[in-house]
Amino acid sequence: MKEESVNIPSGQLKLEGLMARPAGDGAVHGAVVCHPHPLYGGSMHNNVVEAILEALWKLGFATLRFNFRGVGASDGEHSGGSGETDDTQAAMQFLLSQPGVASDAAIMAGYSFGAAVAMRAGAELKEVATIAAIALPVGMGDFSSPAGSGKKIVLLAGDSDAYCPKRAITELAESCGAQLRIIDGADHFFGGCEDALTKALAELLSA
């Protein structure tokens, strides 16, 4: 799908993003996608981010991926998660304000650090109905509260992911009633498993 460059206000900052909207006259639902950790080279131009987008486009969503503060052409600097949560909520409000994008039943999605941010940001927004967390770093934080927010939670991980161990993500899914899919042969980075990730995510989101 064709994406267009946009500037997203987040407080006093401007964030760069890429937005895509399906052709047609009817309103479509929106989805925001958050990228992995900025201090380890993460940006919106990431293979897993693009695999997530492919799944969302197959389902007819308008999408917005963006660079957190301090990444690429986005203003500011990395804040450890709190500012990035603000950025994510600002990105969702920006997307939902666009013509032809429905103001409800939105999806907040993210990968790795972005999955952690998406969980926390999505749990607080009434417009968000579904949170999709890919390779959520469950060993580095407690996600039981956002996972129990009443939203539909979709979790995906590789079976060889050291940052998202199968046992830990399974326990989280069981504790909050989340839908979980484990991708065989994938580690935290999903190299060579992008198509499998896209397929699995599209299936879970449409279930």
Supply angle C-alpha 183, 200, 114, rounded to 5. Answer: 80
Residues 69, 87 contacting (CB under 8 angstroms): yes
The pair of structure tokens assigned to 172 is 């989280």
Contacts of 4 by beta carbon, 8 Å cutoff, 6+ apart: 18, 19, 20
Note the pLDDT tens digit of each residue in 90-137. Answer: 999 999 999 999 999 999 999 999 999 999 999 999 999 999 999 999
Q: CA end-to-end span of the chain, whole Å?
A: 23
For 59-72, the pLDDT digits (tens) are 999 999 999 999 99
Region 21-28: mean pLDDT is 89
92's tokens: 């969702």
Query: Domain spans of the chain?
Result: 4-20+27-206
Its pTM stands at: 0.97
Quote the tokens at residue 171. Answer: 């326990």
Beta-carbon count within 10 A of 170 CB: 16
Distance in angstroms (rounded) separating the CA atoms of residues 98 and 139 = 37
* Domain 4-20+27-206: which CATH number of 1.20.58.340, 3.30.420.40, 3.40.640.10, 3.40.50.1820: 3.40.50.1820
Instruction: Find the farthest-apart pair of alpha carbons in the chain and give their distance in angstroms, rounded.
Output: 45
- Position 148 confidence tier, pLDDT thresholds 50, 70, 90: confident
